[in-house]
Chain A
Amino acid sequence: MPLTPTDASQDSADDGDFAAYATAAWPRLVRTAHMLTGDFHEAEDLVQTTLAKVYARWRRIPRDDVDFYVRRSLVNNNISRVRKRRVVQLLMPFLPERVDESEPGHAETVAQRAALDEALAHLSARQRAVMVLRYWEDLGEAETAQLLGCSVGTVKTHARRGLEALRAHPLFDGRHPVSGARP
């Protein structure tokens, strides 16, 4: 069926909406995905796949719920990815420094990031998702439960077990105090 002028203008408006949303959301989504995957390339692939799926359903997603829908899609896509794919990257013990990085304490930051990646790698995909949503996305237990499609009790259990696992890591046992977060 040929597109009417109204359909075409609606398509164009939708594309514009999506482009604005994707451009604004991309950096934070990549950072969240990096927390979920532990790998920068995997993170960008994951966000790209998620946004493509969101684009395909863009007209049907209520604008007030876009963030919730995208987060849920990101987490679910990651769980599917983990189920069917294992990626082993032989990384250097410490991730490479960026060329323009010259601030003092950067080596400590890089070591800390590597340590956090390592600590999170020991969690299951759902435990990891709970930790990321609670402590990076700053969602509450009820919102996390709604997003993961489970009960608040399950979220609490995942968070408790995740914390127990992380406590065993040197980064969180008090030997390596965490410095202040960047703005």
Chain B
Amino acid sequence: MNHPFRSPRPPAEAERLREAFAEAAYDVTPSVVPLAAIEREGRRRRRRRGAAVLMAACGVLLVPLAVVVFRTGAAGEPSAPSSSVRPPSPTAGTASPSPSAPAGKVRVVAPGERVTVSPGTRIWLTEDGKHWTEPDAPGPQFRSVSDGNLDMSTPGITLQESGQGDGYFLSGIFHGPGEPARVTVTTSAGDVDGTALVLAGKPGWGVWYAQVRVPKSATPDGSMTGVTERVTVHDSAGRVIATQDFTP
């Protein structure tokens, strides 16, 4: 590959860095390209963009008509203030956590049983781990409980946090001894009750999820900070099965 912009004499430090990057990169073994899923999602995006263009074109055609109607309607009326001041919403600037529905539940699900969290957001469990879909993701996502990335010998909780509209979809895997009865999630917008999904037969792990609406005042502005501060899974006696602090 020809790189016309490359420095002619890279320093030793840069070379060492290149070697470290190459070493780390080739230690990763990519799976087979999911071509069918990519093309399916690509077609969906193409259709959606086509629809958006059509809507925009309709809008452009309708604007002159709206202007004509507005002028016609306003001609016989006394002049009105061109702008008005809208009082701030009573909830503006305050935390308004919106618990997931149904909140604070534990559900025993069958392997592969789809649980709909919201339109386009579904979770299901298999013996291998957690699967889920989100409206903006091209296909199902997966986190394994058996590939060795999670140390299942000690209690723990993982977190995946996604922005969805004006809120966040929070979910993850928990593992630890005991039967879960309650999930509490502390976020920058307040506490919410989560929902736990487990497979029958006490596998020692499960999936938790919650949805939270986060006002702008509580939305993180840092690139690597999220809204979730702590997640705790309790059993029916109130004992902690697993808890995890997610503050940076």
Contact A136 B223 (CB under 8 A): no
B201 to nearest A CB, angstroms? 24
The answer to whether the Cβ of A86 comes within 8 Å of any Cβ in the partner chain is: yes
**Which residues of B in the span 26-46 have a Cβ within 8 Å of any Cβ on A?**
26-31, 33-35, 37-39, 41-43, 45-46
Contact B23 A181 (CB under 8 A): yes
B217 to nearest A CB, angstroms? 17
Contact A85 B22 (CB under 8 A): no
CA distance A26 to B37 in the complex (A): 14
CA distance A40 to B28 in the complex (A): 8
- B169: nearest chain-A partner, CB-CB: A85
The answer to whether the Cβ of B157 comes within 8 Å of any Cβ in the partner chain is: yes
B210 to nearest A CB, angstroms? 15
> Per-residue 0/1 for A80-99: is the Cβ within 8 Å of any B Cβ (1 yes, 0 no)?
00111111111110011010
The answer to whether the Cβ of B116 comes within 8 Å of any Cβ in the partner chain is: no
The answer to whether the Cβ of B111 comes within 8 Å of any Cβ in the partner chain is: no
Among listed A2-10, A68-76, A108-116, interface-contacting one: A108-116
Known contacts: A45-B137, A163-B13. The answer to whether A52 contacts B42 by CB under 8 A is yes
Contact A56 B46 (CB under 8 A): yes
Residues of B within 8 A of A136 (CB): 18, 21-22, 25
Contact B27 A109 (CB under 8 A): yes
CA distance A109 to B20 in the complex (A): 10
Report the 8 A-B pairs with minimum CB-CB distance, sorted nearest first: A140-B5, A55-B42, A96-B148, A86-B226, A181-B22, A84-B163, A52-B41, A30-B30
